[in-house]
Amino acid sequence: MTEFERLRVRIHANPEGHAERTLLDVVVALESGGTLDVARLYALDYEAFTLAVDVMRSWWLQQHTGIARNGVAAQLDVRFDRRAGTPDTNG
């Protein structure tokens, strides 16, 4: 299972969880060019932190190798308002 699949499963299982909101905000920041307070990453448990790092690493590689054209959010089936930089929880 790839890190994107692990992330999708985790977010869909508990979309309102603290760690899951932070992980989703990582995706939003990557896809929108926004910012994320790194202290939020350090507050995560080890499993969530390593997942966030794995997602960021894969995103970076995709951006620099040109593999993904639809972005991480498309792979996760996460929809968000790019202008507001917030996830669309209404589906």
Give the pLDDT band of residue 88 (cuts 50, 70, 90). Answer: low
Residue type at 66? G
Read off φ and ψ for residue 63, nearest 5 degrees.
-65, -35
The domain segmentation of the chain, as residue ranges, is 3-85
Check residue 47 and give left, alpha or beta (phi > 0: left; psi -120 to 50: alpha). Answer: alpha
More confident residue, 64 or 48: 48
Predicted TM-score (pTM) of the model is 0.71
Average pLDDT over residues 32-40: 93
Decide: 44 and 52 in contact? Cβ < 8 Å. Answer: yes
Average pLDDT over residues 75-84: 52
Check residue 87 and give left, alpha or beta (phi > 0: left; psi -120 to 50: alpha). Answer: beta
Model confidence over 3-14: pLDDT tens digits?
A: 889 999 999 999
- 19 contacts: CB under 8 Å, gap ≥ 6: 44, 45, 48
